[in-house]
Amino acid sequence: MVKSIVLEDGKIIQIVQGDITKEEVDAIVNAANGYLRHGGGVAGAILRAGGKIIQEESDRIIRKNGPLEVSEVAVTGAGSLHPKYIIHVHGPRYGQENVEELLYESFLNAFKTAGKLGVKTLSVPAVSSGIFGVPKDLCARCFFRAVEYYFENYKDTPLSLIRVCNIDRATTEVFEKVSEEFF
């Protein structure tokens, strides 16, 4: 089941339960660490499904630019997956200072990067809410706040669809509920 929210200007936000590696969108967001070492969680799933080229491209970025700061993004190809790009974002860990602002910035930076790349359709997991321990409802508020801000302030963006895609029912239900506070 997909929950769709259509904004006044036709932009669409969708909440779906599923495997993000199967998403047929222009780009997906990965919940990464600062070294882009894609071990577990959604990062591990993306690497297993898309192939080791994603890790190789990530390693090249780190060798060239050094590690990512929290809320910073890096872009690679998506290996054998359908999307053209993976937008890796280094989300904050729960317990660190300003976690809420940093997670909001993480989502916003991912959207800004997608727009600059000409991405029309984007799928995003609940960054920081797994191994990094951020409560799901806090994560959902950061996500929808960033979506709201982005669509209000970037009217010319090519992005027309943002899907939040999580593998588990519980996370999906939290996002469905929190979306009602916003739209």
Give the footprint of ligand AR6 on this chain (CB under 6 A): 19-21, 31-33, 38-43, 45, 91, 125-132, 165-168, 171
Nearer CB in complex with ligand AR6: 67/158: 67
For residue 32, the minimal CB distance to ligand AR6 (Å) is 5
Whether the Cβ atoms of residue 33 and residue 130 lie closer than 8 Å to each other: no
Q: 90: helix, coil or strand?
A: strand
Q: Which residues contact residue 150 at a Cβ distance below 8 angstroms, ignoring those fewer than 6 apart?
A: 108, 111, 112, 115, 157, 159
For residue 42, the minimal CB distance to ligand AR6 (Å) is 4
Nearer CB in complex with ligand AR6: 48/116: 48
For residue 91, the minimal CB distance to ligand AR6 (Å) is 4
For residue 31, the minimal CB distance to ligand AR6 (Å) is 3
Nearer CB in complex with ligand AR6: 94/182: 94
Helix axes 41-50, 53-65, angle to 10 degrees: 120
